[in-house]
Amino acid sequence: MAANKPKGQNSLALHKVIMVGSGGVGKSALTLQFMYDEFVEDYEPTKADSYRKKVVLDGEEVQIDILDTAGQEDYAAIRDNYFRSGEGFLCVFSITELESFAATADFREQILRVKEDENVPFLLVGNKSDLEDKRQVSIEEAKNRADQWNVNYVETSAKTRANVDKVITHLITHLITQRISCQFLRYTCLLLFIVCMLKLF
């Protein structure tokens, strides 16, 4: 017998976040840390895993759907379908791996091509900040790239949980703000249309 859903669950706002980045940078570890407060150290390549969690933002309960995508090149062809369904993107690289940082440009290019929107909610995330002694990507270098893209840059550690909640909530807040702005714009356009039509008659 199916479990009864809590009253009002279906009415909660749902925001879909896509986690992208090269293999081994810690996308799954970040996702699992956010979802279950646990750190998974062993790396197993992901094909695509989806997670859903309810959180409270500014006093309002919302649902977050996180799609943890494969970073391996073998799955590049199927990413388009994932990207089309996403509202916002966390583009993750490892601060200990220069190649993963370079790859963020390819991921962003693919996202912009699919979404056809330069203003799509997007956050650049430098993971493994707990491995400072192995750093290959400077904070300045990462911030410069984020500035070029007009996005924010945040460093995280899936191991210590540093900034894990911050990157998710920051992106969701951006999503909500953008959604409200779009609704207001549509409402304004509708009012202008009605006014113009009334003047014709």
More reliable by pLDDT, 90 or 181 = 90
Domain membership of residue 9 (yes or no) is no
User: What pLDDT does residue 5 have?
Assistant: 41
Domain membership of residue 100 (yes or no) is yes
Domain membership of residue 144 (yes or no) is yes
Domain membership of residue 179 (yes or no) is yes
The candidate with the shortest Cα–Cα distance to 159, out of 67, 99, 95, is 95
Domain harbouring 175, CATH code? 3.40.50.300
Decide: 91 and 21 in contact? Cβ < 8 Å: yes
Domain extent at residue 176: 14-199
CA 115 to chain centre: 14
167 DSSP assignment: H
Number of H helices, E strands in the chain: 5, 6
Domain membership of residue 189 (yes or no) is yes
pLDDT at 9 over 90: no
Decide: 55 and 126 in contact? Cβ < 8 Å: no
pTM of the full predicted structure?
0.84
The chain-wide mean pLDDT, for the chain, equals 87
Helix, strand or coil, per DSSP, at residue 15: strand
More reliable by pLDDT, 118 or 74 = 118
What is the total count of domains within the chain? 1
User: What pLDDT does residue 164 have?
Assistant: 98
pLDDT at 184 over 60: no
Q: How far apart are CA 63 and CA 66, in angstroms?
A: 10
pLDDT at 182 over 60: no
pLDDT at 36 over 70: yes
